[in-house]
Structure 1
Amino acid sequence: MAYFIGLDVSQRRTAICILDDDGAMIAEGTALTSPSDIYQWIAKRIDIVLVRRAGLEAGAMSFWLYTDLAAMGLPMVCLEAYQAAQLLKTQRNKADRNDARGLAQIIRLGGRFLRRVEVRSRSSQEARMLLTMRQYLVGQKIGLQNSITGLLKQFGLVVRRGKVCAMTFRDGVLSTISQAEERGVFLRAIIVPALKLHDSTCAELSTLTRHLCGDSSSSTCRGFIYLRAGHRRQLRGRFLRSHSQSENSRCHRRRGRAVQIEA
């Protein structure tokens, strides 16, 4: 006797369905979305040793549940969310209990039919989270710069932005505000709060960047440093190569037309 378990995960509770080899229902119910609670719910109903596969969809909480349940001894499988969603559409009623049943059936099929998702290590997840948060702060910085310069531009005040440090941008904005006050345009009370938020965002962004580049042995750090230092040179090299190739092709076409005219 072997058992197959489907887990439909939500933020608060997880629907659990246990099937046997023939697809017959052994037990179903819900437990709190916690690895210990899910494991205890399963252990009270069947022998954990007889579990052949237990699976859940790839999602926001799948890494936490997958790693902890696998450490407790469950043979876990992480399913591709698209494949699972398409197969679950065949069910008549959409409910957490029915989704758990469908996931258990998909797990029972097994073999090459399953599209498994590779669950990365904890260090990889931490590096991904660091990159995601840094990218979010970069977007916040650019959005604040665009908002500040856009408001000033309505009064004919142009401030340099883009690839400048936070201090240079701050000095340029304050100097522009002073020039505007000489013309009778008072914007300091409106712009300065956004400028302070921009400064704090740049400070936190610098902290994350230093943390990212602190470990020179990390492959993530090496890739990040390569993108920062060499991406522009790489793009410039590609542009020059494409430009030279287009120039050569134009020269060949001109020479061909000249030969035809002479003939």
Structure 2
Amino acid sequence: MAPSSRGTPDVPVDVVVAARAGDARALDLLVAQSLPLVYNVVGRALDGHPDTDDVVQESVLRVVSGIGSLEQEQSFRSWLVAITVRQVRDWMRRSRYERAHLAELVAADVERDPAGDFVTTTIDQLLLEGQRRRIAEATRWLDPQDRDVLALWWLEASGELTRTELARSLDVERRHAAVRVQRMRERLSTGLAIVAALETAPPCAGLDDAARRWDGTPSPMWRKRLARHVRGCPRCAGALDRTAAPERLLA
């Protein structure tokens, strides 16, 4: 089967029909041809976290157990992505709980190790440099609900998904999907501007003053606070002018 123009091969409808009817060989083929897309969604959403394989496996298990309930074989691709996104969301909810629980167990006066953050670890592991490293760091400034939207938009930008498939994966109408993508992109651009400004040498005195009480951990609240300075400071805003658009950096 020839690859589609989107990069990831589309699964033939007859394979989906056979797998839905209980054909074991067709199901094996369906899983094998679906794995690249599942890995793309999970890998981009989890930033290469060690749990990526576990989330992929759980997604595939849900596909295998639920294939019989698929109503329209033509919608298999968006159904697959929707299942994967749900597994990513479940992982994120568990991960937030586990991190909060762990924080309760450690002594209150133990200084937090920034290297323990999984996004920072991912950056080190992948040896991201320059502007690509910046975009990876900028994702840390996103709201939690932006993570799955970012992963799907990334696939759309690279031609792996259509906007219709993205909307179906989020279980929203195309118009609502466009709004969610636009808001995520705005927050991503803001995060990118903050990252670029923080790297300016010598540092901006005004930005240092704005970040005086910041503990170094990206958060939506501090994104808004630091963004107010960055937008109004010619020096900080100039740092972003030297950074490529997110679409180019995500390619």
TM over 0.5: no
Larger strand share, 1 or 2 = 1
- TM-score calculated relative to the size of structure 2: 0.24
Which one has a bigger Cα radius of gyration? 1
